[in-house]
A and B are shown apart, each in its own frame.
Chain A
Amino acid sequence: MKAPAFEYVRPGSLGEAFALLAEYGDEARLLAGGQTLLATLNMRLSEPAMLIDINDIAELHGIQLQGNVLRINAMARHSQIEHSPLVAQHAPLLTMAASHIGHRAIRNRGTWGGSIAYADPAGEWPACALALDAEIIVGSAAGERRIPAADFYVDLYTTTLAADEIVLACELPVRTPDRFHGFEELSRRHGDYAIVGLACNARCGGQNMPIRDARLALLGVCATPVRARRAEAFLEGKAPTEDVISEAAAVLQAELDGERAPLADLTNSPATKRHLAAVLLRRVVGGMADGMASATQNTAGAAH
């Protein structure tokens, strides 16, 4: 189908974009990479009166290392993140996750900020932001504010972003050498929507070393990305042995029940997703046994 009629404007500065957003309010949609928005327009699932194209706003582009913080600006494309040496060095979780996002032509266009703001429950970036304790920086004519990823995601496709605000960037603490990053995802076909995915960020030095401060962020399970707090607590101080990993998988399965029961999708029941989440936990925590080498190897593999 064809998109409905709309007005289109491409501001050259953030100030202009803020003013347009304030003027048009709910009638306007921001156009970043457009890989979701333009599909929904073509299918007439959405009929905004105005598209505000933010592709020409220079300060929204790029990836920068600022001291011990990696700043990923909103218009960084998925493929730029996938191939960024800065990201591979300081946030290898993102390098691993990037190749799971759609396909090459989609990754060349889709953006970090668009994915963060759209809050698709099966999206890779929101779960990674949660696992990495990202701060999401949003702006409006009134100024900027910083929101921890843990407070940003409220419900299905719902964030704390106000109608007049734009996601400007995220800041991530850079990975220290004692931190393990791991990412696994299951989908019917590579690049399809995730059934379940798991982003992991933990301190662990290897096979017989205790796991500390683990963050296990699941995607595709609940209405928002979620931390598996009970499985994380279970792993605290334990080495990633086979027995520990099996018990952690059981803890995760128990955790994903009742209020935290996974949401079914068209082909997968809550029970299937619960099982698959445990499969991914086994793979990711199993990877910790090889320590940092595993993270490095995964990074290299994903970067091809």
Chain B
Amino acid sequence: MSGTHTIHLTVNGEFRRCEVDARQHLVDFLRDDLELKGSHLGCEHGVCGACTVRLDGEIVRGCLVLAVQADGKTVETIEGLTESGAMRDLQEIFLRRNALQCGFCTSGMLMAAAELIETQPDATREEVRLWISGNFCRCTGYHAIVDAICEVLRAQKLAPKGVSA
């Protein structure tokens, strides 16, 4: 119950035992304690989406979850998801379609997009726009991002087992 807590969690497939302050949120823990700098910290009050990570398989705002709350859970960040599947397809097509410029929003955008592709394979363009409405991008104007996500969805339909299979 004191200010510091011992937590046990799995981060990107690796089991960890760490000491965290109660007040420390998940993204500060990932960036500062584990040196995983792929998740970015933008607004720090749940608006911008740059800190989006997966907690037990679902995307969450990393600034609105405490590190101590990840005790016993599985955390995945962009660093752990780039090797295969939807994330690799998304990254290739984001690059090809110029769906990123400064890159600050990109890891959060990719985390959100990957959950859409995995859970809503029939999403329409409008539904893609609604889905990523919680992730701010101040460079691209979003069209290239929406184009890229829609292209991955189309490719997935043509090859039901995934374009990277």
Interface of A toward B, CB cutoff 8 Å = 1-10, 31, 34-35, 38-39, 41-43, 51, 53, 55, 79, 99, 102-106, 108-109, 189-191, 304
Instruction: Kindly list chain B residues whose C-beta atoms are within 8 Å of the C-beta of A4.
Output: 23
Instruction: Kindly list chain B residues whose C-beta atoms are within 8 Å of the C-beta of A1.
Output: 44
Q: Is B60 an interface residue (CB 8 A)?
A: yes
In the complex, residue of chain B having the shortest beta-carbon distance to the beta carbon of A55: B69
Nearest 10 interchain pairs by C-beta: A103-B134, A8-B22, A39-B45, A108-B58, A3-B23, A38-B64, A105-B59, A39-B46, A190-B133, A191-B133
Interface of B toward A, CB cutoff 8 Å = 1-3, 5, 21-23, 25, 28, 44-46, 49, 52, 55, 58-61, 63-66, 68-69, 71, 112, 115-116, 120, 122-124, 127, 130-131, 133-135
Complex A-B: 11 CB contacts under 8 Å: A6-B23, A10-B71, A31-B66, A34-B64, A38-B66, A41-B23, A105-B52, A106-B64, A109-B55, A304-B122, A304-B127
Whether A104 contacts B46 by the Cβ 8 Å rule is no
Instruction: Kindly list chain B residues whose C-beta atoms are within 8 Å of the C-beta of A102.
Output: 134
Nearest CB of B to A231, in Å: 30
Among B23, B122, B123, point to the contact of A2 (Cβ < 8 A).
Answer: B23
Compute the total of residue contacts between A and B using a CB distance below 8 Å: 98
Whether B63 contacts A38 by the Cβ 8 Å rule is yes
Q: How far is the CA of A169 from the CA of B123 in the complex (A)?
A: 32
The A interface is mostly helix, strand or loop, or mixed, namely: loop
> Given that A42-B25, A42-B45 are known contacts, is A34 also in contact with B65, CB under 8 Å in the complex?
yes
Q: How far is the CA of A106 from the CA of B60 in the complex (A)?
A: 6
Whether A42 contacts B22 by the Cβ 8 Å rule is no
Instruction: Kindly list chain B residues whose C-beta atoms are within 8 Å of the C-beta of A34.
Output: 64-66, 69
Whether B60 contacts A7 by the Cβ 8 Å rule is no
Q: How far is the CA of A79 from the CA of B115 in the complex (A)?
A: 13
Q: How far is the CA of A59 from the CA of B22 in the complex (A)?
A: 25
Instruction: Kindly list chain A residues whose C-beta atoms are within 8 Å of the C-beta of B52.
Output: 105
Whether B22 contacts A38 by the Cβ 8 Å rule is no
Instruction: Kindly list chain B residues whose C-beta atoms are within 8 Å of the C-beta of A79.
Output: 58
Q: How far is the CA of A304 from the CA of B120 in the complex (A)?
A: 7
Q: How far is the CA of A196 from the CA of B55 in the complex (A)?
A: 32
Q: How far is the CA of A1 from the CA of B44 in the complex (A)?
A: 7
> Given that A7-B1, A43-B45 are known contacts, is A190 also in contact with B130, CB under 8 Å in the complex?
yes
In the complex, residue of chain B having the shortest beta-carbon distance to the beta carbon of A51: B22
Instruction: Kindly list chain B residues whose C-beta atoms are within 8 Å of the C-beta of A7.
Output: 1-3, 22
Instruction: Kindly list chain A residues whose C-beta atoms are within 8 Å of the C-beta of B112.
Output: 104-105
Q: How far is the CA of A10 from the CA of B68 in the complex (A)?
A: 10
> Given that A5-B22, A43-B45 are known contacts, is A104 also in contact with B134, CB under 8 Å in the complex?
yes
Nearest CB of A to B93, in Å: 20
Whether A39 contacts B64 by the Cβ 8 Å rule is yes
Nearest CB of A to B143, in Å: 16
Whether B63 contacts A42 by the Cβ 8 Å rule is yes
Instruction: Kindly list chain B residues whose C-beta atoms are within 8 Å of the C-beta of A55.
Output: 69
Among B60, B71, B124, point to the contact of A105 (Cβ < 8 A).
Answer: B60
Nearest CB of B to A174, in Å: 27
